[in-house]
Every structure is written in structure tokens, then in C-alpha cells.
Amino acid sequence: MLKQRGHDADCFITGEEPEFEKTVQDWQPDVVGVYSTTGQETWALEHVLAWRKELPHLKVVMGGPHASFDAEILREGEYVDAIVKAEAEHAIIDLVEAWAAGRPINLIPNIGFLDNGEPVQNLIRPAVQDLDSLPFPDVDLFYKYPFLRKKRVMQVHASRGCQNSCTYCSVGLMKEEWVSGKGDKFNRTKSVDYLCEEMNDIVARYPGFRMVNFGDAALNMQRGWLEEFADKWPKQVGMPFACNININFLNEEDIINLKRAGCVSVQFGLESGNEDVRLRVYKKGYTDKIVYSIPKLLRKHNISFRTNNIMGSPAETLDDMYQTVRQNREIKPAGCTVLIYRPFRSSALGREDFEVGRVELGKDIGPSIHSDSQMRRDDLDEVINLQRLFNIAVFVPGGLPLVKQLVRMPRNPLFDGVGLGFLWYQHAVVSGFGMLDDIKLGVKNLSQIFGRKSGGTHEYGRTRLIDTMDVGTDATI
């Protein structure tokens, strides 16, 4: 969007730039943009402070889910000059051009700023309704780095939004705050023709990719779309793919269309084996009947599937989490991603956690959702141990009784290692690097993991390897 308006734009990845700070500084930016999710909002602080010394005119803007739901970051005045709430395509142009012209920014929709020491969040404009009206994502910014363009699996998005509004996820509040109620849609899909054209544009320049991983919340967002996609994708692009699905909106016809289009693997969030927690607390919409029936249909049509699972939410006892293990054992996924519950301020359940005092406020758990929990609970060590050993409990014969005994032990590096081993395997497969290349990537990034002195409120120097391997909900294949 910025380039279309004649501005220069670039992207720098810390782990890929031997001298990250200097490289950015030498590029002489007028504005730096920082993406943020909760827990990862302060990593750039030390860099920004260094750049400000050399580039006195520098402005810093933060976007992403954290900034969209918590304007408090603006109080760190020397760090962030403005935030953007919700989708930033048009807001960033208005903001950058106002700064360039020396105009005030306080009337720009979506923008948040500090006024007399208090954060102010402007109203937001309607979300972009026609995704085809946007330019193709500027993948060259990322694929200039060999480690990204050498991946065999490409990340692409076909849509924005989600049919569900799970209470542990930001989507529910986004739906409340990002649409006006005057007919604008939150769930939007690119046209199939646009998507195929976008893909072919990428593949023409980066022919090494062998597979696509759709990062959308669910590729089955629109039934008619999926049918057209199945007709056109194999002819126009013809690349196998993996994707996320919402199984409460999936029927056999959709599965047939997914297969026809070239889908080899899907992922869905099982999250809890306790139906009551899944339906009543998480508002996930997946009944046990759906959880047991969809895997059978997927298997019938030869599509493999993986599950996402949450450990340690305030809604669950340890027994509920063992039920999640049992349900996975019954439906037999190809793999399980197991994340530790985090109380996001951008989610309904997270807000409730803060309101009723379920969160250990002073506890810094770092950026990862694989590492530790901020929740107050007496069985915390058992929960963390179960997250580490979950895949053993699911996939090893007799694994559950064994794991039930093991989780009583104190947390220890061996369990961390087991968790890391499964993460490594997952990341290697999902990223498309392969196991060996993934090890090389990890080794290359060791200085990122152990070498940094500080990342704002998080002491990165103490971050363990497991903290950094965050495949999250992108883990699909």
C-alpha cells in the first residue's frame, strides 16, 4: 500500500541480519512499524531506543492484536509514537503522510496516540470489504531472505475473519469492535481468481515452493467459494495444500471439494476434551458428535488431520485435560499441537481472567505460548508437565497412565526436552525445512535466544530454546 503511494518500504528480520540495528539505521527510515501480539509487544524497545539516538526524526507505530486492544503501550512514550487499531492498510498511509507533512494525527481513524499523558484511541474505519481491491501481499520483502524462500511450504491467506467467536481468541472482540453494524462484513474471502493469480505471481518468481499452507482461520468459510476453488485451483495453480478448518461448519461435500482441490492435510482446534468446556465456556461450537464424526469423514477421503489443544485454561481441571488426551487417542490425529492457555486482553475469557484476579500479574512468562502459564492455579506444575508430555500420552501405547504418574514430578529439563523434541518435529514438518535444516536454523538463531541482554520487560537473555519455537496455530501439516 505504501509503495503504491510512492513511499519506500522494507522489512528486516532480526535473526537474518548480522547487524540488525545497524542495517535498519543505515536504511534511514522515517517511520518504523512494529507488529505485536500480547507477550511480544516490547521486543523492539531496545532497538528503537538505539535508533532514536541516530535518527532524531524517527517515528514508531505499533499494530497487531496487542496494540489493537491495549493502548497502554502508548505510555511507554519513548518507544511508541502511535498505534493502529484493526486493519492498517489505509490508516498507515494517512498516518505516514500526516507525519511527513507535519500535520496532526489526532483525527485519523484507527490511530491511537497519547494526549496529555493519556492514551486516546480513535474510532476505526470499516474493514476492507473487497480483499481483491488490495495489492498482492509484498512477499519480496520476506523472500529476499534465503531461509524463507528456501522453505518448501509457502504461507498464504485466502480470507480474513472466522465463523466462530471462541472466548479465548481475539476474533470475538474483533467482531464486536471492528464492524459498524451497518452491513460491513468481518468475514471476507478473496475471489478464487485473485487468489490463483496471487499464487502464480509468487511461484513465477520463487519456483522452489512445493506446497501451500493456508494460514486462514478456516478455509471452509464460504461453501460456494470452496466449490469454485476446487474447480479452479488444480487447473490454475495445481499445488497441494494444507489448511485450517472449522469442523462445525464442515460437511462431507466440503471435504470432497477440499480433496478435489488438492488438500492433503487439515488442522482444527479441539482445544478441550470436555464438551461442556468446549461449548459453554469456549463457545467453540464443536459438539462431541462433530468431534467424532468429522475425523471419520476426513479419513474416508484420505485427508490427514491434526488437532490444536489448550492446556491450563481457567475452565479446566487436570481431569478435563486428561479427557483431551483421551479424545485425541480416540480420533487418532496425525499430530497434536499443545499450547498453554494465555489470558489475552484481546479475548473475552482473558479479560474475565484479569477482572476476577485469576492472573499472576507480576509474572513474566515471556513471549511464547509453549513455555509457562500466567494463571494462578495450584496444579500449575502438573499442567505444564502435561503440556510437555501430551504427545506421549496420546501416541505411545499405555502412555496416559505413565504420563499421569510423571506429571507429579517437579518440572525438569528432561520434560522440557521431550516437549521441545515434539515441537522441533512439528516445526520442521510445518515450516517445510525438514528436520536437519530446522536444527541448522535453530543453531543459527542461538544468539537470538541466549545472547540478548534485554527485550524490554522480558529478559531474553534468560529465554530458553523452547520459548522460541512457536508454531502456534499455523501448525497445520
**What beta strand segments (E) does 186-328 contain?**
188-189, 211-214, 241-244, 263-271, 304-311
Q: Does 221 bind ligand SF4 (CB under 6 A)?
A: no
Q: How far apart are CA 190 and CA 441, in angstroms?
A: 33
To the nearest 10°, the Cα dihedral for 183, 185, 186, 188?
A: 180
Q: Which is nearer to ligand SF4, 165 or 272 (CB)?
A: 165
Asked if 171 and 164 count as a contact pair (C-beta separation under 8 A), the reply is yes
Q: Does 171 bind ligand SF4 (CB under 6 A)?
A: yes
| Closest approach of ligand SF4 to the CB of residue 383, in Å | 20
Backbone angles phi, psi at 296, to 5 degrees: -65, -40
- The rounded radius of gyration (Å) of the Cα atoms in the chain is 22
β-pairing verdict for 111-115 and 118-121: antiparallel
Q: Does 399 bind ligand SF4 (CB under 6 A)?
A: no
Which of these ranges, 28-36, 115-123, 151-159, 160-168, lies near ligand SF4 under the rule CB under 6 A?
Answer: 160-168
Q: Which is nearer to ligand SF4, 166 or 325 (CB)?
A: 166
| Closest approach of ligand SF4 to the CB of residue 152, in Å | 26
What does the per-residue mask of binding to ligand SF4 show for 188-217, with x meaning CB under 6 A? -----------------------------x
Which of residues 31, 162, 331, 466 is near ligand SF4 by CB under 6 A?
162
User: Identity (one letter) of the amino acid at 224?
Assistant: G
Q: How far apart are CA 162 and CA 268, in angstroms?
A: 13
Q: How far apart are CA 42 and CA 79, in angstroms?
A: 9
> How far is residue 96 from each of residues 5, 89, 271, measured CA to CA in Å?
11, 11, 41
Pick out residues in 295-354 that bind ligand SF4 (CB under 6 A): none
C-alpha cell at 337: 499441537
Q: What is the DSSP string of 169-197?
A: STHHHHHHHH--SSS--S-EE--HHHHHH
| Closest approach of ligand SF4 to the CB of residue 288, in Å | 17
Which of residues 37, 38, 222, 246 is near ligand SF4 by CB under 6 A?
246
Which of these ranges, 66-74, 82-90, 158-166, 234-242, lies near ligand SF4 under the rule CB under 6 A?
Answer: 158-166
Q: Which is nearer to ligand SF4, 108 or 221 (CB)?
A: 221
Q: Does 169 bind ligand SF4 (CB under 6 A)?
A: yes
Helix 413-431, helix 380-395: angle, nearest 10: 50
Which of residues 39, 269, 295, 333 is near ligand SF4 by CB under 6 A?
269
| Closest approach of ligand SF4 to the CB of residue 179, in Å | 15
Question: Beta-carbon neighbour count of residue 102 at 10 Å?
Answer: 6
Which of residues 86, 108, 166, 199 is near ligand SF4 by CB under 6 A?
166
β-pairing verdict for 59-63 and 118-121: unpaired
Q: How far apart are CA 366 and CA 343, in angstroms?
A: 13
Say how many residues touch ligand SF4, by CB under 6 A: 9
Which of residues 37, 42, 164, 426 is near ligand SF4 by CB under 6 A?
164
Q: Does 476 bind ligand SF4 (CB under 6 A)?
A: no
Residue 420: which residues within 8 A CB-CB, separation 6 or more?
A: 465, 466, 469
Which of these ranges, 15-23, 95-103, 161-169, 189-197, lies near ligand SF4 under the rule CB under 6 A?
Answer: 161-169
The residue ranges that bind ligand SF4 (CB under 6 A) are 162, 164-166, 169, 171, 217, 246, 269
